[in-house]
Structure 1
Amino acid sequence: MPDSTPPRPTRSAWRWGVPAVCVAAGLLLGVTHSVSGGDEIRGSDAPRLVDLVREAQQSVDRLTAERDAAADAIANHHGGTPSSAAALEAITRRGDALAGAAGLTPLRGPGLVVTLDDAQRDAQGRFPRDASPDDLVVHQQDIEAVLNAMWSAGAEGVQVQDQRIIATSAPRCVGNTLLLNGRTYSPPYVISAIGDAAAMQDALAAAPMVTLYKRYVDRFGLGYSEERRDVELVGHTEPVRMEYAEPMGPLGY
Structure 2
Amino acid sequence: MSRLRRFSLWRAAAPVALLCAGLLFATSATNARGTDLRPSRNTTLAGLVEEQSRRSATLTRQHAALSGDIEKLQTQQGAIEPKLAKQLKDLSVQVGTTPVTGPGLTVTLKDAPREVVKDNPDIDADWLVIHQQDIQAVVNALWAGGADAISIQNHRVISTTGIKCVGNSVVLHGVPYLPPYKITAIGDRRKLQQALDDSQYIENLQDYVVRFQLGYEVKNESNVAMPAYEGTLDLQSATVPGFETTPSVSPSASGR
TM tier relative to shorter chain: 0.5 to 0.7
1:197 aligns with 2:200: no
Could you tell me how far 1:209 is from its partner in structure 2? 1.0
TM-score by length of 2: 0.59
Counterpart contact for 1:156–1:193, Cα < 8 Å? yes
Once residues 238 and 88 of structure 1 are traced to their aligned partners in structure 2, the CA distance between those partners, rounded to angstroms, is 27
Q: Write the mapping of 1:33-182 to structure 2, written as runs, cut at 5 A.
A: 91-122=84-115, 126-182=118-174
Q: Give the AA of the match of 1:152.
A: A
Q: Per-residue deviation at 1:162?
A: 2.0
Offset at residue 157 of structure 1 (A) = 0.3
Deviations 1:224-248 (A, max 9, x none): 1000012221100112113456755
Amino acid in structure 1 at the alignment position of 2:217: S
1:117 deviates by: 0.5
- AA partner of residue 105 (structure 1): T
Task: Give a deviation string over 1:27-67, Cα, whole Å, max 9, x none.
Answer: xxxxxxxxxxxxxxxxxxxxxxxxxxxxxxxxxxxxxxxxx
In 1: Cα distance, 2:122 partner to 2:215 partner: 18
Deviation at 1:112, TM superposition (A): 0.3
* Distance in 2 of aligned mates of 1:90 and 1:239: 26
Identity over aligned pairs, percent: 37
AA of the residue aligned to 2:92: A
Q: Which has the higher helix share?
A: 2
> What displacement does 1:87 show?
7.8
- What runs of 5+ residues in structure 2 fail to find an aligned partner? 1-73, 239-244, 249-256
Instruction: For 1:242, give the aligned amino acid.
Output: L
Stretches of 4+ moved more than 3 A in 1? 85-93, 243-249
Q: Could you report, residue by residue, the CA deviation over 1:63-114 in whole angstroms, capped at 9, with x for unpaired residues?
A: xxxxxxxxxxxx9xxx8xxxxx788775454222210111111111110000
* Structure of larger gyration radius: 1
User: SS of the counterpart of 1:100?
Assistant: helix
Q: Verify the 8 A CA contact 1:128 1:220 in the aligned structure 2.
A: no
Gaps of 5+ in 1: 1-74, 80-84
State how far apart, in whole Å, the 1-side matches of 2:126 and 2:185 are: 27
Aligned equivalent of 1:12: none
In the superposition, the TM-score normalised over structure 1's length comes to 0.60
Contact in 2 for aligned 1:131/1:220 (Cα 8 Å): no
Instruction: Tell me what 1:239 maps to.
Output: 232
Equivalent position amino acid for 1:211 in 2:
E
Select 2:213's aligned residue among 193, 205, 221. Answer: 221
Give the match's secondary structure for 2:182. Answer: strand
Distance 1:228 1:247, change over 3 A: same
Matched, 1:209 2:201: yes
Q: Which amino acid aligns with 2:226?
A: L
Work out the number of aligned pairs and report it.
169
Shift of 1:205: 1.2
Opposite residue 194 of structure 1, the aligned amino acid is I
Q: CA 1:93 to 1:182, structure 2 compared with 1: closer, same or farther past 3 Å?
A: same
Instruction: Single out whichever of 202-211 and 154-163 deviates more from structure 2.
Output: 202-211
Amino acid at match of 2:177: Y
What whole-Å deviation, never above 9, does each CA across 1:194-238 have from its counterpart, x for those lacking one? Answer: 011121111111111111111111111111100001222110011
For 2:253, the equivalent position in structure 1 comes to: none
